[in-house]
Structure 1
Amino acid sequence: MRPPHPDLAVPTVLDVEASGFGRNSYPIEIGFVLPNGHTFCTLVRPEAHWTHWDAQAEATHHISRALILARGVPVPEVARTINAQLYGQTVYSDGWVNDYSWIGALFDAADMSPSFKLENLRVLLDDQEADQWHTVKAQVSSERGVQRHRASADARLLQLTLLRLRNGHSP
């Protein structure tokens, strides 16, 4: 097992809930947890041309299109807020391929560039940790009890799972 990198002792972890999967999907909720445990979560109001909606995705995250239309924050405001809070950081995601695409869609629609780097969480794991990931994640999830399947709660679960793998315990 490699020695812990001091800057990565507790990484920032991000998660995105989306309208569905595939080319026409877009972010509807973005959440992250910082190294100090502070969580951030926001619903994203869809752009006018973001119309794709997948009922199976909604059944997973339980966020309705009516809710994001009513309570979602405009895309430029979400992009500015995320940039301010994540400026200069490397941020990790377990669904990097999809999350990268959805973060790209958000920033493209806002006509901005991310001020942070989004990286695959897998790069933080050695082979043994990767093999144990799902088992440890299930243990941490069980200990936390019932949590909503939402972006910030999912990001916190990922962060705690990584810490458990590294340290043998969660904070």
Structure 2
Amino acid sequence: MTLPILLDIEASGFGRGSYPIEVGLARADGSTCAFLVQPLPEWTHWDPKAELLHGLSRNRLQREGHPVIEVARWLNDELSVPGIAYSDSWGYDNTWLSLLFHHAGMLPSFRLEALRRLLNEAQLARWEDAKEALIQERGIQRHRAGDDARLLQLIYLRTLRTSR
């Protein structure tokens, strides 16, 4: 079975002025990858509460992050053939993705859709229970982009199996 490609973005915070700090993918084969994003000089918004969740400091992003254009190119390389990725937080992730591509001076070669579009009513009804069970079983640490994308994929798979 080919799994849907899931994309997750961690950010500097929520709302006005926030920006992407990590982009992660869970590929159709279940493998994951993620890149830290080096903040641009004009990206100054920083929410300490968000840092407590994802554990990434602005200094670490400056040191280890990849330039915006590299992350945008990587996403296009990864996603141009399938042409689509899914997100559980489409409103936020699409905004941050648009910001990333705008500052890279590029257009995405794929579209981002809401994960909810793939789910039937039975899957939706089982989603939260499946999520909690997987977090417990696997000891998953949340709020890192690659791990969160893979968790979404595993929840999707579990709800699919139990909805038949």
Instruction: Quickly name the TM-score band, shorter chain normalised.
Output: over 0.9
Q: Distance in 1 between matches of 2:140 and 2:106?
A: 36
Q: Distance in 2 between matches of 1:106 and 1:38?
A: 23
Q: Distance in 1 between matches of 2:15 and 2:140?
A: 29
User: Which runs of no fewer than 5 residues in structure 2 stay unpaired?
Assistant: none
Q: Distance in 2 between matches of 1:146 and 1:35?
A: 20
Q: Given the alignment, which residue of 7, 22, 25 partners 2:18?
A: 25
Q: Distance in 2 between matches of 1:34 and 1:97?
A: 21
TM-score w.r.t. structure 2 length?
0.94
Q: Given the alignment, which residue of 135, 138, 145 partners 1:141?
A: 135
Please list, as runs of the form range in 1=range in 2, the aligned pairs for 1:80-159 lying within 5 A after superposition: 80-88=73-81, 89-159=83-153
Q: CA deviation at 1:149?
A: 2.7
Q: CA deviation at 1:145?
A: 1.3
- Asked if residue 161 in structure 1 is aligned to residue 151 in structure 2, the reply is no
TM-score w.r.t. structure 1 length?
0.91
Q: Given the alignment, which residue of 53, 61, 67 partners 2:46?
A: 53
Q: Distance in 1 between matches of 2:68 and 2:34?
A: 14
**Percent identity between the two aligned chains:** 48
Q: Which amino acid aligns with 1:14?
A: L
- Which residue is 2:31 aligned to? 38
Q: CA deviation at 1:148?
A: 4.9
Aligned residues: 162
User: Which runs of no fewer than 5 residues in structure 1 stay unpaired?
Assistant: 1-5
